[in-house]
Amino acid sequence: MSCAICETRKEKRFCPAVHRRICPQCCGAQREVTLDCPSGCVYLQQARAHERPRSSDELKNAELFLQVEFGEQFIYDREHLLMGLSYALAKSARADRSLNDRDLIAALTAMAKTYETLISSGLHYQTPIAGIGQQTVAEEVKNRLEQFREAEQRYLGYSTLRDSDVLKALVFLIRLAHGRTSGRPKSRAFLDFLFGQFPEPAIRAPQEAGSRLITP
């Protein structure tokens, strides 16, 4: 039997994305490129386990906001904020299974640009966000930010969260996402990382997930 994709080489493995058997070469070349590989695919899991970190050349065109600086103390001080925003991303992705790493990165990047403009010029200019899915992600993150501010106001009598803190938190997540994703068009490696932090069916609150985010 020949591969269901190339129809040339011999098939050797079952592909859950096409529900047919394909050859290893097509599996490697088309994985998360043209194929919507499910997270449970053993070949995808094996590839991730042996995948090298993305090189500087691969990241050179990525918007990492290198001008935004923060240290480990910020991550420690704003742990609950970072976990809350991560939870918002996971919640959005669970609600819309068509989302991938690029969608989350695009939504976070647009929000970071909006806050960067606000901080530098005082202008409330909303950077456009393409696609309903990405807009939904951004709205979920905004809602979590509002809930965080309301919680501080309720328990402290005031909110300590500054716009510069929000920008740093968004940039932290952007860098974390770029560090986790494979960079392929349909990659969901970052999403699967988030799902690991907030597993189903519990859908645990951010504070219950523990401190497991890794500094990018």
| Segments making up each domain of the chain, as ranges | 1-51, 58-209
Three-state secondary structure call for residue 150: helix
pTM: 0.88
User: Would you state the pLDDT for residue 209?
Assistant: 47
Q: Which residue has the tokens 């990165």?
A: 105
Q: What is the mean pLDDT of each run of 10 residues along the chain (216 residues)?
A: 96 96 97 96 94 82 91 95 96 94 96 95 87 95 95 91 96 96 95 92 50 49
d(CA 112, CA 103): 14
